[in-house]
Amino acid sequence: MKKADIVLLKYGEIALKGLNRPMFEQRLLKNVGKALAPLGKFSIRKSQSMLYVEPLEEGIDMEIAIERMQKVFGIVNICPAVSCDKDMDSIAKTTVECLREMDVEGKTFKVEAKREDKQFPLNSPQICQQMGGVILKNVKGLKVDVHNPDILVQIEIRKKAYIFTEKVSGAGGMPVGTNGKAALLLSGGIDSPVAGWMIAKRGVGLDAVHFHSHPYTSDRAKEKVIDLAKILSAYTGKINLHVVPFTDIQLAIIDKCPKNYLTLIMRRVMMQIAERIAKQGHAQALITGESIGQVASQTMESLAVTDNAVSMPVFRPCIGMDKEEIVQISKKIDAYETSILPYEDCCTIFVPKHPKTRPDIAEIVEAEQALTNLEEMIEDAIAQDEVIVIQPE
């Protein structure tokens, strides 16, 4: 295809209805701008339910630009297009040039036209008919197939005429920032980055909280979490990653609480700390990577006990997914290779041999009474919270 000089971004219908539309479009425009800024100067404008992205400098790699736009939530389709003047001669000339540069031998085609500009003298069926004839006459090797064409030649008449044959899928969802913010409990595993990605896809900005048990967990484990947050930030924009020291609390729990409740009490304290950090950052919910029955601390009874430690809503988008389904998303979002690097998590060290799968909340609350200075330890941990601002690269 002739080199695309403009990219059309289509954002579908879902969020466009109602009063939210301008807010949605403004945010999408801003998010696309941020995703592209490191590559050079672009003009990004909105017109008739689409965004138009044009490079304003020579030498910008549009393939990389498209890859970046594929990570911006809210975009359904990305169409690299060639623009030309809005008259049938120019459209015919440009379309033929485009197709001649493609390998079309033995292939079939169909023309689809859309006329947003109702002043244009031909209507859509007329454009299709006329252009079909022009293509057959001028591009060798192509045949028409209106049902199942190899090449769909799309012509849109808007401010200018746009011609394209390629539609790259976007990430879908809603632009990050249109639905508030939530705090993701981010471990170094496979599930929590996927959980964060899924909630961000619905337009939610992310903060992340990671609990670190130095020296039982290494600096490498922390670096890995920073890398995962960077991978997520390509989709979500800036993430404030809070690294919270958890060793003292963990040792106190191990020292003072019954072995079979260690993990659950630890998870409850993590949730409480995360909730406080979330509130400070104006996040409205917590996100975890839990899935029913995956481990003892993720039975329904255990999840209820974890929820009971906080008052904020807890979102667990992986809740009904099999590990394999989570892995698929992890691979799709480029987190998998990082997630599977060996690491120690503070949940995986000191794991009790016989964790309770049917915990009793009264027993747990009772057991927690042994942590007499818990409030102080929580305040201490939060005071030592290291905030790492993760920006997309």
Name the site residues for Mg ion (rule: CB under 5 A): 187, 189, 345
Nearer to ligand ATP, 158 or 242 (CB): 242
Distance of CA 319 to the CA centre of its chain: 18
Residue at shortest CB range from Mg ion: 189
Helix (H) or strand (E) holding 275: helix 262-280
Phi, psi of 175 (to 5 degrees): -60, 130
Q: Are strands 77-84 and 143-144 parallel, antiparallel or unpaired?
A: unpaired
Nearest to 334 by CA among 236, 223, 232: 232
Residue 200 C-beta: closest distance to ligand ATP, Å: 14
Contacted entry of Mg ion, ligand ATP, none for residue 272, CB cut-off 5 to 8 Å set by kind: none
Nearer to ligand ATP, 32 or 381 (CB): 381
Nearer to ligand ATP, 165 or 339 (CB): 339
- DSSP secondary structure letter of residue 174: B
Query: Encoding tokens for residue 320?
Result: 């009904």
240 near ligand ATP (CB under 6 A): no
Nearer to ligand ATP, 122 or 292 (CB): 292
Contacted entry of ligand ATP, Mg ion, none for residue 94, CB cut-off 5 to 8 Å set by kind: none
Binding mask 10-29 vs ligand ATP (x if CB under 6 A, - otherwise)? --------------------
Q: Are 230 and 330 in contact (CB under 8 A)?
A: no
Q: Is the preceding omega at residue 313 within 30 degrees of 0, hence cis? A: no
Residue 360 C-beta: closest distance to Mg ion, Å: 24
Residue 191 C-beta: closest distance to Mg ion, Å: 7
**Near ligand ATP in 274-333, by CB under 6 A:** 288-290, 294-295, 297
The three-state secondary structure class of 162 is strand
**Near ligand ATP in 346-385, by CB under 6 A:** 346-347
Residue at shortest CB range from ligand ATP: 189
User: For ligand ATP, which residue of 190, 253, 285, 309 counts as binding (CB under 6 A)?
Assistant: 190
Q: What single-letter amino acid sits at 31?
A: N
Nearer to ligand ATP, 144 or 351 (CB): 351
Nearest to 34 by CA among 309, 268, 235: 235
Q: Are 210 and 187 in contact (CB under 8 A)?
A: yes
Alpha-carbon distance of 203 to 295, in angstroms, equals 30
User: For ligand ATP, which residue of 31, 95, 192, 236 counts as binding (CB under 6 A)?
Assistant: 192
**Residue 101 CB neighbour total at 10 angstroms:** 11
Residue 299 C-beta: closest distance to ligand ATP, Å: 11
Nearer to ligand ATP, 297 or 338 (CB): 297
Residue 339 C-beta: closest distance to ligand ATP, Å: 7
Q: What single-letter amino acid sits at 60?
A: I
The DSSP annotation for 90-121 comes to: HHHHHHHHHHHTS--TT-EEEEEEEES-TTSS
Footprint of ligand ATP on this chain (CB under 6 A)? 185-187, 189-192, 209-211, 288-290, 294-295, 297, 345-347
